[in-house]
């Protein structure tokens, strides 16, 4: 399979999901269910992820299919940026999926508190990027990544179930083992550059 098959599977899943939500005829519903299963099998064949897991992650929503929202915080102190050390050994900008009851701003403030113990204020939207273009090329669903400049207010690192430690890094000494599905070296550099030009426009790509 090439990348186009991932795109085909996503389009089939989107059609099936909308059909299951808005379809009325029971025979059409059966066909949409079959299309959803086929799309999951296509993704599984491409990624080696078990079909049941694909169905759970990729085919569990109702209604019109839309991208998920991932929020990432840029917290820069003394020209160094905050990264969190994940349980799997990689480093990333703090953040995570946007909860359904949160705005982008409140969600990133919550995520930073959970992962670092820090209280921050979200102050500027640095960029909105397409995850599949910037981070993960072949994935089952779309993700819009929101990078937000946050101002440190107070707090110290607190032990938690998501991260093992934190660190502040300058642009020339970033760790090698970055979690590139969450934040790439280029995205971290983008955040640095935005901090030096506060009036720069939001990047959309």
Report the CATH number that the domain containing residue 125 is assigned in CATH: 3.90.79.10
Q: Which of 137, 111, 122, 94 is nearest to 4 (CA)?
A: 137
First-to-last alpha carbon distance for the chain, in angstroms, is 26
Residue 63 domain flag: no
199 with 115, same domain?
yes
pLDDT recorded at residue 1: 42
Given a cut of 50, is residue 16 above it in pLDDT? yes
49 with 88, same domain?
no
Instruction: Return mean pLDDT, the chain.
Output: 90
Confidence of residue 86 (pLDDT cuts 50, 70, 90): very high
Q: Could you tell me the residue range of the domain that residue 143 belongs to?
A: 68-204
The pTM (predicted TM-score) of the whole model is 0.77
100 with 166, same domain?
yes
Phi and psi angles of residue 19, each rounded to the nearest 5 degrees, phi first: -65, -40
Taking residues 174-182, report their average pLDDT. Answer: 95
pLDDT recorded at residue 68: 87
Given a cut of 70, is residue 3 above it in pLDDT? no
Given a cut of 60, is residue 2 above it in pLDDT? no
53 with 76, same domain?
no
pLDDT in tens, 109-139: 999 999 999 999 999 999 999 988 898 766 6
99 with 147, same domain?
yes
Taking residues 134-154, report their average pLDDT. Answer: 86
Confidence of residue 179 (pLDDT cuts 50, 70, 90): very high
Confidence of residue 202 (pLDDT cuts 50, 70, 90): very high
Cα(175)–Cα(166) distance, integer angstroms: 12
Q: Which of 168, 169, 176, 122 is nearest to 147 (CA)?
A: 122
**Three-point CA angle 15, 20, 21, nearest 5°:** 100
pLDDT recorded at residue 139: 63
Lowest mean pLDDT among 42-56, 85-99, 146-160, 183-197: 42-56
Looking at residue 62, the DSSP 8-state letter turns out to be -
């Amino acid at each position: 399979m090439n990348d186009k098959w991932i795109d085909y599977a996503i389009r089939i899943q989107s059609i099936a999901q909308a059909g299951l939500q808005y379809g009325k005829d029971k025979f059409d519903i059966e066909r949409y269910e079959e299309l959803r299963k086929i799309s999951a099998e296509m993704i599984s064949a491409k990624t080696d992820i078990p079909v049941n897991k694909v169905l759970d992650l990729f085919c569990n929503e109702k209604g019109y299919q839309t991208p998920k929202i991932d929020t990432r915080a840029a917290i820069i102190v003394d020209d160094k940026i905050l990264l969190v050390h994940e349980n799997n050994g990689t480093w990333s900008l703090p953040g995570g999926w946007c909860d359904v009851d949160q705005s982008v701003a409140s969600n990133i403030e919550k995520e930073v508190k959970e992962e670092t113990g820090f209280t921050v204020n979200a102050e500027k939207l640095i960029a909105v990027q397409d995850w599949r273009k910037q981070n993960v090329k072949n994935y089952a669903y779309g993700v819009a990544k929101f990078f937000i400049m946050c101002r440190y207010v107070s707090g110290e690192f607190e032990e938690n179930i998501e991260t093992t430690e934190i660190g502040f890094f300058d642009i020339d000494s970033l760790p090698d083992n970055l979690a590139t599905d969450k934040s790439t070296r280029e995205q971290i550099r983008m955040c640095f550059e935005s901090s030096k030009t506060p009036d720069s426009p939001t990047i959309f790509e």
